[in-house]
Chain A
C-alpha cells in the first residue's frame, strides 16, 4: 500500500497542479470573460483584412452616426405612446432579419445532441425549429442537458458601440406566434457592467396553443422574474426596461419532451396598456440575513 502511494507521488511531481482536481472547479469569486469558459476561439483575420473590413464598415457606420446626430438635433422623441397600439421591434418580415439572430444548442460545445435552425417559413415568418434531446455524453460533469435557444445580437449604436433598448414607455410584450403546444421561455437579457450581472436574464413562459392558427400572446413585463445562469434569484426586482440588451427564446427537452419542436414567430412587439397597473407580480419578502444566493 505505502509503496503504491510513494510511486504515485513520484509521478505527481511532473503533473501540473491544475490537473489534481477531480471535481468541477466552481469559481464564484470573479469571472474572466462573459461566456464563463464557453468561449470558442475563432481564427482572427489578418491585420490587412481587418483594416479593409474596417473601411468597408465605415461607410455604413457613418450613415448610422449621421442618423443619430440628426435625431439628436431634431430632438423630437415620441412622447405619447398610444394605448392599444403595438410597436413592432423584431419583425420577421423585414429583409435579412435572420442575420440579427444567433442560434445556439447544447451540441455547440459537445454537451448534447440537440439541433436547431432559424429560417423563414412558408408563411413568410421566422421559423425556429429543430430537435431537442436530453441525451448527452456521460462525462460525470454535465447532469442534464437538452436545449435550443435563439437570441438577438447585442444592440449597437454607430461605430459598433454597445447600447441598450429603451422600452420604458411600454408595459406589455406582444408576440404573434404559432407554436406546437410546447412551452417556450422568453428571455430578456439585461447584461450589466460587472461580472455578477453578466448573466442576468428575466424570464417568462410563452405557452403556445399549437394548431394552425396564429396566436397573439400579450405578456406584461411585470411578470418577468430574474434569474442568473438558469437559477431563479432570491432577491428579485422588476425588470429595468431601459437595460435590455438581448431578446431570445429557449426550448428545453424537460420531462421527456425530447423530439422535434417548431415555433413560428411573426413579430415581437411592445404595447402600453394603461389598465395594467401591476409593477411586479411577485411578493417581495425580506429574506433572512446571509441566506440570499447560498
Chain B
C-alpha cells in the first residue's frame, strides 16, 4: 500500500510536492540502507508532519555498514552474523544484502569469495525452491533471485571466481531451476577460460610498493626481447644527483650493442613520460632512443625483392652467372630498430624528474657505457611533466626540448 502510494506520488512530484515532502521521509526511512544521519534527520522532519503516527510502527533503522568504526573483513562478517542471529525471520534480508554489497569496497572485501558466500548464506534455505512448473517458469521470488544475481554480477565485475561450495549453497536456496544458478553456471563456464588468458600474467595481489610496480612494468615492456636485463639503480651511487630515488632500467644485450655502434654525431633522446597500466595502476616510463637509421633500413628494403613479379624469371642454367655467395649474410634488423626510431633502453624512476633521468644516463655511463660522454642527449618531455619536475628544474628549464651534453657537465 505504502509502496504503491510512494510510486504514485513520485510520478506527480511536480504537482503534489507538499504532500510528497511530508510522506516521503517515512517511506524512505523504511529502506534498510539509509544512513543513520539521514534517518535521524527524517525522524526530526516527521515530528511536524502528518505521518508521525505511521513512523512509530516501523522498525528502527540503522545502517551497520555505514556506522562501523573499524572497517575490516572481521567486522563485516560479524555484522552479517549479527543480522543472521537477530531474529528468526531475517526481515529485509534483500535490502541488507544490497547494502552489504554497496559497502564492500570500504571494507576492502570486494575481492573476497568468503564474504560473498557469507552474504548468500543470509538467504533462508529451501524456502525459495519452486515446487511446481509455474513457479519455476515465472521466477519464483523474483526480488530474492535478482538480489543474488546482482551479487554474482558484482563478483564477476571484480573477477572473483565462485567455487563448488557456492553452487551447493545456491542449490539449497533456489533449487536447480533458479536463475542465480544459471548465472553461476555461466560464470563457471567462462571465467576459468578467461582467468589466465593474458600473456603477461600479474600476481593476484599487486604490490603496493611503487618500486616493485615499476619493476613489473619494465619487466613487462622488456618481454619484447628475451635477453633483456632489468637493473635497479640507486641515485645515491652518484654524488652530484639531487634526487635520492631509485631507477628501474631495462636494456637487452642487443640494445647495448646498438648503443655502442651508435654514431656520436647523432643525438639520443630521452622521451616521456609515457604510461603503462599494470592492472589498475599507472606507471610512467621514459625511453632512450635515437632517430631511425634510415640508411640501414633502406638497405634492408632493397634486398626484399617482389616475389609476385613474374615478368622476369631468369633461367638459372644457361648463360647466367651463378648467384654470388658474398653479401648473403647481411645484418638482420633487430626488434628495437623500428621505423620510428631505435630504442636503446627503458626506465622508470621514483620521481620522474629530469634530474633522476640525468642520473640514469650517468649510471649507465658508470655501468659500461662510457660512450655517453661523446653523444649529445636531448630531453624531450611531454607536457604532462609532474609538478615536482618543474619545482626542481625551475620553471624556465621545463621547455620542451633542451640539450644537455653530459660530458660537458661532468668536466
* Smallest CB separation, B291 vs chain A (Å): 12
Query: Is B343 an interface position by the 8 A CB rule?
Result: yes
Query: Contacts A5-B8, A8-B12, A181-B278 hold; do A211 and B186 have CB atoms under 8 A apart?
Result: no
Q: Is the CB of A257 within 8 A of B277?
A: yes
CA distance A234 to B179 in the complex (A): 14
Q: Is the CB of A211 within 8 A of B340?
A: no
Contact pick for A205, options B16, B179, B197, CB 8 Å: B197
B186-227 vs A, Cβ < 8 Å mask (1 yes, 0 no):
100010011001111000000000000000010011111000
Q: Is the CB of A180 within 8 A of B157?
A: no
- Most chain A beta-carbon neighbours within 10 Å: one of B179, B335, B339: B339
* Smallest CB separation, B171 vs chain A (Å): 14
How large, as a class, is the contact surface on chain A? 35 or more
Interface residues of A in 10-38 (CB under 8 A from B): 11-12, 15, 19-20, 22
Q: Is the CB of A144 within 8 A of B221?
A: no
CA distance A91 to B63 in the complex (A): 57
Q: Is the CB of B221 within 8 A of A259?
A: no
* Smallest CB separation, A284 vs chain B (Å): 11
Interface residues of A in 275-294 (CB under 8 A from B): 282, 290-291, 294
Query: Is B5 an interface position by the 8 A CB rule?
Result: yes
Contacts of A5 in B (CB 8 A): 5, 8
Q: Is the CB of A214 within 8 A of B158?
A: no
Contact pick for A209, options B5, B9, B23, B223, CB 8 Å: B223
Contact pick for A255, options B8, B220, B280, CB 8 Å: B280
Query: Is B338 an interface position by the 8 A CB rule?
Result: yes
Q: Is the CB of A215 within 8 A of B179?
A: no
Query: Contacts A205-B197, A207-B199, A294-B179 hold; do A215 and B224 have CB atoms under 8 A apart?
Result: yes
Query: Is A86 an interface position by the 8 A CB rule?
Result: no
**Chain B interfacial residues counted at CB < 8 A:** 50
B5-18 vs A, Cβ < 8 Å mask (1 yes, 0 no):
10111111001100
Q: Is the CB of A144 within 8 A of B224?
A: no
CA distance A232 to B188 in the complex (A): 13
Query: Contacts A212-B346, A255-B157 hold; do A182 and B277 have CB atoms under 8 A apart?
Result: yes
Query: Contacts A181-B278, A254-B157 hold; do A213 and B224 have CB atoms under 8 A apart?
Result: yes
Contacts of B7 in A (CB 8 A): 22
Contacts of A144 in B (CB 8 A): 157
CA distance A254 to B199 in the complex (A): 19
Which residues of B are in contact with A by a Cβ distance under 8 Å?
Answer: 5, 7-12, 15-16, 19, 23, 137, 157-159, 179, 182, 186, 190, 193-194, 197-200, 217, 220-224, 274-280, 282, 285, 287, 289, 335-336, 338-341, 343, 346
Which residues of A are in contact with B by a Cβ distance under 8 Å?
Answer: 1, 4-5, 7-8, 11-12, 15, 19-20, 22, 122-124, 144, 180-183, 205, 207, 209-215, 232, 234, 254-257, 259-261, 282, 290-291, 294
The 6 lowest CB-CB distance pairs between A and B, nearest first, are A211-B221, A210-B276, A181-B277, A123-B340, A256-B280, A181-B276
Q: List 24 A-B contacts (CB under 8 A).
A: A4-B5, A4-B19, A4-B23, A7-B16, A8-B5, A8-B9, A12-B11, A12-B12, A15-B12, A20-B11, A180-B275, A181-B217, A205-B194, A205-B198, A207-B197, A207-B199, A209-B220, A210-B221, A210-B277, A211-B220, A212-B341, A213-B224, A232-B190, A261-B277
